[in-house]
A and B are shown apart, each in its own frame.
Chain A
Amino acid sequence: MTAASFSDQPVPMPRARRRTELAMLVFALAVVLLAYAAASLGLSGKLSGLSVYILVYALMMIGAHLAVRRFAPFADPLLLPLAALLNGLGIVMIYRLQESGRNGNPGTVVTDMSTSATMLQVLWTAVGVIALVAVLVLIREARILQRYTYTLGAVALVLLAIPALIGTSVNGAKVWITFGSFSIEPGEFARLALAVFFAGYLVAKRDVLALAGRRVLGIDLPRARDLGPVLIAWGASLLILIFETDIGTSALFFGLFVAMLYIATQRKSWLLIGLGLFLAGTWLTALTFHHVMSRFTAWLHPFSGSNPTGISYQPVQGLEGMAFGGIFGTGLGQGQPYHTPLVQSDFIFTAFGEELGLVGVMALLLIFGLLVQRGLRAALAVKDPFSKLLAAGLSFVLALQVFVIVGGVSFLIPLTGVTTPFLSEGGSSLVASWILIALLIRVSNSARQPAPQPIQDEGMTQVVRAA
């Protein structure tokens, strides 16, 4: 093999795959359009209403694609289309629920569902896409966020504390702050800031934390002083639980931290310690606070006594809806999801379960799974340890959120009020989810970017010497 024959080989260039992204995005938009047609025909027998929103939505997604093409040309080609499909299906379902019982359509009006819900959701999607573009423009490398580790940690704490102080209590959870007719949920954004903080903190401290103290029964136990951060995270999540009565957020918060600790240190002991602390904390609060206990009662005894019409009315209605849908569902627009109170936010998954059936929700769960897989893939491929931890943490918290809410509405675990990412009605959750996707796009761009070509001079000299 001579030196000359090496240099004649084509230079390996990973494909950017932006065309694949565009094709998948158009496919996703076609699926959303079809979903809208199916919902509209199923509901009223004619096409009406939403088409202008779908057009606006399609334009926004194409805009997002152009932004990715311009600012993150090597990003993973699936992240944007998968998110676009979920968001679009969410808009269609919200439209379908909004129309229920209105304009001569069958059913009753869904609790707390205004006639402008779809418009607002499209508007929030626009804010989400703007946030996505802003993140791509402002953060050219995920690792520059590492400079703001402690700033973002403080921001997260403030965001978490705001609702406890000036928040309004909605359905037993005090996680909202209202400005006039708008309300936002700061906890959704706090989660992202926390992921950045944990990633920055753990990159700095991973060696100390991994330096195990003693080995007991084959498990590396960390030193007592290294337990500090875990205990602080645990205490903070308990405080959220107590002051804001929000089990979902505190579970996500704590789960995120334990998972990132595990990823950073590769010590299984953290998982055991984390799980133990979580169970202990939940048990303590369940004994002390009535509303936490009632969630357990609704989960363990949904059908006993007056529960089906009392504390477990909503989950039982959701469950019956999914049972009504069966394997193939009733078809979009043809089910009765309006029986479940507040089906548009926490219970939107049961509405999909009813109208798309098991086959449809399996596809939805797979789409979430693929989204998480692409995030973890970016985390594996990227070289910079901070970006690695950040992408892994963000992917994990997305997966955990889907697990907590889908597990909750399907009675696998006690129900906690978290939104279904991209699907649920609600601006904060949507915008936060788009920012999460933007960060994953950014990390996957660094991961897939071709390495700068090495200087070829040395090879040239060798060729000359051989001649």
Chain B
Amino acid sequence: MNSLELTLIRIGFLAVLWLFVIAAVGVIRTDLFGQSSRSSRRRADTVPHPQPPPRVAPPRAKPKPARVSRQMPQQLLVTAGSLAGTSLGLTDQQITIGRAGDATLVLSDDYASTRHARLFPQDGQWLVEDLGSTNGTYLDRQKVTGPTPVPVGVPIRIGKTVLELRR
């Protein structure tokens, strides 16, 4: 073993050690962002499928929140109003929203009705339904008339309270 070989081994080992660290970070990266690349691959796979693509599948240029979620959202977050900052974990149970004491999310909002709206999961989607409120429920700027699917990150307005689903 001459000293040149030893130097090469020494530097080579450090390089491999760092490669391991970089590979580990890469694994974490795919854990965080792998979803989008995988679903685009899925989309490519389904091209020969006879069924036409869902109408809501947006053009690529559209911003992310409008894209149909392929993964169930994990929580409901209050972004504005007196409860701002509150978050609720989503389970397979429906969530009722209103001023009633037995609602899942009890609002202290003067513009909300006692039983204002409900959110429920169905077929891998969360839907919002207005329960005949006085002032109405809005999904983004659209008034909710029947059960409407809620994409992740789109604001639901109830009185002065704004909620959104988060992954």
Contacts and interface: CB of A to CB of B under 8 A. Distances in A.
Interface of A: 1, 3, 5-12, 14-15, 17, 20, 24, 27-28, 30-31, 34-35, 37-38, 41-42, 45-46, 77-78, 81-82, 85, 328-332, 334, 356-357, 359-360, 363, 366-367, 370, 373-374, 383, 451-452, 454, 456, 458-459, 462
Contacts of A11: 124
B14 A367 contact: no
| Secondary structure dominating the interface of A | helix
Interface in B40-75: 42, 51, 54-56, 68, 70-72
Given A12-B71, A42-B6, A454-B92, A27 B124 contact: no
Interface stretch (B16-24, B100-108, B110-118, B154-162): B16-24
A34 B92 contact: no
A452 B9 CA distance: 50
Contacts of A357: 14
Contacts of A331: 6-7, 9-10, 13
19 contacts: A9-B68, A10-B42, A10-B70, A17-B27, A24-B24, A30-B16, A38-B13, A77-B31, A328-B11, A328-B14, A329-B10, A329-B14, A359-B18, A360-B17, A367-B20, A367-B24, A370-B28, A374-B28, A459-B122
Contacts of B21: 363, 366-367, 370
Given A20-B27, A363-B14, A370-B25, A3 B1 contact: no
Contact of B16 (A1, A34, A332): A34
A452 B92 contact: yes
Contacts of A370: 21, 24-25, 28
Contact of B17 (A5, A14, A363): A363
Given A34-B13, A45-B1, 9 more contacts: A34-B12, A42-B1, A329-B10, A329-B14, A331-B10, A332-B13, A359-B14, A367-B24, A383-B89
B149 interface: yes
A41 B123 contact: no
A407 B21 CA distance: 22
Interface of B: 1, 5-7, 9-14, 16-18, 20-21, 23-25, 27-28, 30-31, 34, 38, 42, 51, 54-56, 68, 70-72, 89, 91-92, 121-125, 149
A331 B6 CA distance: 8
A6 B123 contact: yes
A38 B9 contact: yes
Contacts of B14: 328-329, 356-357, 359-360, 363
A328 B17 CA distance: 12
A24 B23 contact: yes
A328 B72 CA distance: 47
